[in-house]
Chains A and B, each alone.
Chain A
Amino acid sequence: MFKRHPLLKYYLKKIVTYIVTIWGAFTIAFFLFRLMPSNPIDAWVKSLERQYSVKIDRGSELVDYYKEQFGLNGTLWEQYVRYLYNTFVKFDLGPSFINFPTPVQELLLARLPWTLALMGISILIAWVLGLLIGAAAAWFRTSPVSGWLTNISIVLSQIPPYLIAIFLVLFLGYTLKLFPTRGAWDAQYPVGLNWNFIQSVLWHSILPASAIIITSLAGWILSTRSLIVTILGEDYLMYAEAKGLSPWEIMTRYALRNALLPQTMGLALTMGFMMSGQLLIEMLFVYPGLGELMSRGIQVFDYNTMMGIIILSIFSVMTASLIVELTLPVIDPRIRKEIMS
C-alpha cells in the first residue's frame, strides 16, 4: 500500500516520529527530575525544619498524604506510569506546589496568554522586519551600508537577549526613565478591557519586547540575506533579468517568494521554541508569563509546575515542526516530488 502512496507513508512516518519524540522527551525529562537528589516535599520539609528549628518525622502521615497528592508515592516506575497516564490520557498535570492545590494546567493556562502575546507579537514583528531588511541588504549587497548592517547583525545575533535587556533596562528604564521595567501593567488600573489598562500593558511591554526583537531581528536579517544572496546567484534569476522584468518584480516574485518558504518554516519553529527560549527575559522583567512562573516553581523545586512547563514547551516545539513537515509537501512542489520518488 505504501508503495502506491508514498505521500501517505511520509505523513504516517512524520506522525509516528512526532508521537515517539514527544514520549521520549517526556520520559527523559521525567527521569532527569526524579533522579535529582531532591523533591518538593523534602525541600519543603527541610525548609520548615530550618525555619522553625524542629525535626519533622519523614514517615508521618501528613508527609505521606502530601507525597500521594504530588504523585511521589510508590516506586519510580509506578510514579512514571501514573504520571504518563494522567498527562496524556486525563490531561491532568497534577496539583502545583507553589499554589496548592490549583492544578498545574490551570496555572499554565492563566500565564500562557501573557507569554503568547509578548513573545508571539515580538517574534512576528522581528520576522517581518528581518525579512524586509535582509532582502534589502541582499539586493544592495555591494554597498557599504549593507556590509555594516550585516556585521552589526552578526554580532547582535549572538548576544543573549537578557544582556540586551539589561542594557535596555539600564539606559531606557533607569537612566532616562522612559519606560517601566517591571511587571506587565500598572497596578493602579483595574484589569480588564479598558483603555487605561490596555495602554499600560502596551507601555510595559515595550522594553521586554524590544529586547526580544533586537536579538531575533538580527538573526532574521542574516538568514534572509544569505538566502537571497544565494537565490540571486541562481540561473533563474539571471534569466529573469534577461527577460527584462522590473527589479521590483524580480525581487518580489523571484527572490523574496523563493526565500519566503524556508523563512516561514523558520518562523513556525521559532514560535514553537518561544515558550522556553525567552524565559529569562520574563524573569528579568517580572513579566507574568510562564518564565516567571517557572522561576517561582524552581525555588521550591515544584516538580509538577516545572514538568508542566517543560511538557508544554516540548509539545509546542514538536507541534510546530509537525505542522511544518506536513504542510511542506503541500506548498512546495519540489518537496512533493522528492517524497514521491
Chain B
Amino acid sequence: MAEQNLKTLLTLKNLNIWYATERGESKAVNGLDLEILRGEIFGLAGESGCGKSTLITGVMRLTKLPAHVQSGEAIFHASRENGQEQVVDLLKLDPGAMRPYRWRNISYIPQSAMNVLNPVLKVEDQIADVIRAHSSMSKKEAQARIGDCLEMVGLSKKVALMYAHELSGGMKQRVTIAAAIVLKPDLLIADEPTTALDVNVQRVILQELTDIRERLGLTILYVTHDMAVHAQLSDRVGIMYAGGIMEVGKTSDVLSEPLHPYSQALVEAIPDIGGERRRIEGLPGAVPSPLNWPPGCAFHPRCKRMLPICQEKRPDLRELKPGRLVACHLYQ
C-alpha cells in the first residue's frame, strides 16, 4: 500500500487525559501526538498500563470521572452520505453532538467482550438498535445485514437469536466485531479484542479482521501489547510509553530496525504469537507512575543510552525519514 496516496483520517494533537486521584492528577495520556491514515491498520503497542485504553476512551468520548480530557485535539475526517468529508474536532463536540459520529463513523470493539452484551436482550436486538439509531434501513434489510456480518466473522446466522449467556467468550468477541462493522464505519477501534481468547481463536479472528478490512475498506486502530500480533496484522505501528508515542513507522521497518531504545527492548522481547505477556527483559527499573512522570524524556531512568539532555527536555516526535517518526534525543 502506497502511503503517499493515503489521506489522513484522525489526527491527535498534544492529547492529555488525566485521572483525578486522591494523590493528585494521574497523567495516563500525556501530550500524545498521533496520525491515522484512511484505509490502514494502525497498530498501537505498549506495555500494560501505558494508557492505551485511556487514549481510546478519550477519542471515543467515553471518559468517565475520575478520568477527564485535560487538553488536546482529535481532528477527525468523517465521511458523509453525499461523499463529502467533514472535519471535526471530536473533543470539542457537546456530548449530544458526538452521537451521530458514533458507530456511523467510529465503532469500537471493547477490551473484554465478557460483559458488554446486555444479558436480557438477544444479540440481534443489540445490533439492530444501533442500525435503527444511525441509519434508515428497513427492518428486513437490517436483519439481512446482521446475518451477513455474523457470517463475516465466522458465526452462524442463528446466533442472532441467542442471548449473551448462550455464547462462549470467543463467540461474544465475534459478536462485538460483527456489531462494529455493521454500519461500515470509517474507523474501527479495537482494544485488545483477542487477549481473553485462546491462541487458535485469536489467530482465526485476526485473519477475519484482515479479510474484513480488505472487503469493506475500513480503517482499523488495533491496540495490543502483543508485538507478534502487530507483526501479523498492522500496516504501521506506534510504540507507546508513559502516555506518549515514542516511535511510529511501517510495521516491518519498526520490527526489523527499531530506533527508540524502548522499541528496541520491546522488539527484543517478542514472544510467539499469543504468548504470555513477558516482562521486558533487560530494562532496569519499573514503569514509572503516571502520578509523577520523570522530567524530560519519561523513559530516561530506564534507558541504556541516556544523554544528559534526556533528563531536562522532553524530545518531540520528529520525522526522521518519510513515514518514520521517533521521539528521542539520540536522533535529533
Direct contact of A and B (CB under 8 A): yes
Choose from B98, B108, B121, B179 the contact partner of A253 (Cβ within 8 Å).
B121
**Does A238 lie within 8 Å of B62, measured CB to CB?**
yes
**Does B129 lie within 8 Å of A243, measured CB to CB?**
yes
Task: Compute how far the CA of A254 lies from the CA of B126 in the bound complex, rounded to whole angstroms.
Answer: 10
B280: interface (CB < 8 Å): no
Tell me how many residues of A have a C-beta within 8 Å of chain B. Answer: 22
State which residues 254-280 of A face B: CB under 8 Å.
254, 257-258, 261
**Does A334 lie within 8 Å of B110, measured CB to CB?**
no
Tell me how many residues of B have a C-beta within 8 Å of chain A. Answer: 31
Q: How far is the CB of B189 from chain A (nearest CB, A)?
A: 9
Choose from B101, B110, B114, B120 the contact partner of A244 (Cβ within 8 Å).
B101
**Does B165 lie within 8 Å of A242, measured CB to CB?**
no
Can you name the residue of chain B whose Cβ is closest to the Cβ of A255?
Answer: B118
State which residues 129-180 of B face A: CB under 8 Å.
129-130, 133-134, 163, 165-166, 176, 179
B21: interface (CB < 8 Å): no
Choose from B99, B107, B163 the contact partner of A333 (Cβ within 8 Å).
B163
A249: interface (CB < 8 Å): yes
Q: Given A245-B130, A246-B133, A249-B133, A261 and B103 touching (CB < 8 A)?
A: no
Can you name the residue of chain A whose Cβ is closest to the Cβ of B118?
Answer: A236
B330: interface (CB < 8 Å): no
B306: interface (CB < 8 Å): no
Q: Given A243-B102, A244-B133, A258 and B119 touching (CB < 8 A)?
A: yes
**Does A245 lie within 8 Å of B133, measured CB to CB?**
yes
By CB atoms of chain A within 10 A, which of B103, B107, B129 has the most?
A: B129
State which residues 231-247 of A face B: CB under 8 Å.
234-236, 238-246
Number of A-B residue pairs having CB atoms within 8 Å of each other in the complex: 75
Interface of A is mostly: helix
**Does A235 lie within 8 Å of B110, measured CB to CB?**
yes
A55: interface (CB < 8 Å): no
**Does B133 lie within 8 Å of A257, measured CB to CB?**
no
Task: Compute how far the CA of A334 lies from the CA of B166 in the bound complex, rounded to whole angstroms.
Answer: 9
User: Which residues of A have CB within 8 Å of B252?
Assistant: none
B60: interface (CB < 8 Å): yes
A332: interface (CB < 8 Å): yes
User: Which residues of B have CB within 8 Å of A50?
Assistant: none
Q: Given A249-B133, A333-B165, A242 and B60 touching (CB < 8 A)?
A: yes
Q: How far is the CB of A143 from chain B (nearest CB, A)?
A: 14
A337: interface (CB < 8 Å): yes
By CB atoms of chain A within 10 A, which of B98, B101, B110, B176 has the most?
A: B110
Task: Compute how far the CA of A152 lies from the CA of B117 in the bound complex, rounded to whole angstroms.
Answer: 35
Q: Given A244-B101, A244-B102, A333-B166, A234 and B133 touching (CB < 8 A)?
A: no
User: Which residues of A have CB within 8 Å of B60?
Assistant: 242
Q: Given A243-B130, A244-B134, A236 and B117 touching (CB < 8 A)?
A: yes
**Does B99 lie within 8 Å of A244, measured CB to CB?**
yes
Task: Compute how far the CA of A112 lies from the CA of B62 in the bound complex, rounded to whole angstroms.
Answer: 54
Task: Compute how far the CA of A332 lies from the CA of B119 in the bound complex, rounded to whole angstroms.
Answer: 9
B296: interface (CB < 8 Å): no
State which residues 190-236 of A face B: CB under 8 Å.
234-236
**Does B129 lie within 8 Å of A244, measured CB to CB?**
no
Q: Given A249-B133, A332-B120, A333-B163, A244 and B115 touching (CB < 8 A)?
A: no
B112: interface (CB < 8 Å): yes
B100: interface (CB < 8 Å): yes
Q: List 30 A-B contacts (CB under 8 A).
A: A235-B110, A235-B114, A235-B116, A236-B117, A236-B118, A236-B119, A238-B62, A239-B108, A242-B62, A242-B103, A242-B107, A242-B110, A243-B103, A243-B129, A244-B98, A244-B100, A244-B103, A244-B133, A244-B134, A246-B133, A249-B129, A253-B118, A253-B129, A257-B121, A258-B118, A332-B120, A333-B163, A333-B165, A334-B165, A337-B165
Instruction: Give the interface of A toward B (CB within 8 A).
Output: 234-236, 238-246, 249, 253-254, 257-258, 261, 332-334, 337
Closest 6 CB pairs of A and B: A244-B102, A235-B115, A239-B116, A333-B163, A243-B130, A244-B99
